Structure 1
Amino acid sequence: MSIYEEILRAQGNFGGRTGPFAYLAAKKKKKPTKEIIYDNWMAYELTVEKAELYKATDSNGFSDPYVRIGKVVSDGLFSKKWVLQTPSVSKTLNPVWNYTNDFTANIGKCSQLTLQLWDKDALKDDFIGSATFHLPTSIGSSFSKTLDIFDPTTNKIINAKVTFSIKCTDQCTKDKVENAGRISQTSF
């Protein structure tokens, strides 16, 4: 038996809480979890109705457009940014979607959404342009809007117009926000 083993045994199994291996016996402290405040969470119903493209992106003189709507700034690597994406409509410059999705949003953190118009392609989708809009903040408030979609390179030429409507349907509680993810709704 070595002198080191004798010392450890004298202190009791690796020296207990004061010995050289005390870090193994110490309980790790858990960081307190941050309580989510649901006062600013609202439920929305968003409908993308139609678009009018002024410039074709495909060589056949048409586009295969679709719309994505999401947060202006992402909360992090694993957060959901997009709350809605329409299916693409093939070979048209005047797509009609009438696509509706429900989602919840924390208006304390995110009061604006961005609308992006894309052209679906086989290898890489073409970005047509984007615009931003503010969320309604009171229950029952709604609006329909036609946004000008500007050319992404110059921000001066209008490439398209997209018509959509949004309605604030309810203020959310903890149960509603947690259930939103389980019933195919999007929350962020």
Structure 2
Amino acid sequence: MLQLGGTVALLVVGVAVLLLLVRWATGQLQADRAARRRARSAPPAATRPATAGAPPRRRATGSHPAGRRVPRDTAPGGPLERPHRPLERVAADLRRLARELAMVPGGMPMERRRGLLAAYDDLLVEAAALLEVPQQLTEVPEEARELERIRLLGALEAAGLVVTG
């Protein structure tokens, strides 16, 4: 009977170690630790504002759900001067991303698609700045952004930029 108890104990310990290794390999362990750290640093429930029934708060401008940057023309401290890339490189990148977005497979994660759209928007804003075409892509809400993309593409093509092809 003692031998059976020892075997069962070894089996339970082995399964526990195996589960721990699987959680470590998938990154779940690190995610759990980060969540516990956030919970410790969050203010107590009594000091948090009541949000029952309220829609989730939107992130500040310049943030992205997947942690990536979204296009905007000013940084918090004012306009950011960047060296301009040649228009030919911007147009080539636009064509490449347009092809990628047109051929997005059905099972692609939404975060990847949002990342591609954010990169595409960045390039549209950069091309508009290079060609001095007015754009509102950075100011319109998410729902109207697709319409503004189409309008901006037409304006860029009218200015002489070949985007399709």
Is the shorter-chain TM-score for this pair beyond 0.5, marking a shared fold? no
TM-score range, shorter chain: under 0.3
- State which structure, 1 or 2, has the greater radius of gyration over its C-alpha atoms: 1
Q: Higher RCO, 1 or 2 (CA under 8 Å, sep at least 6)? A: 1
Q: Which has the higher strand share?
A: 1
TM-score by length of 1: 0.24
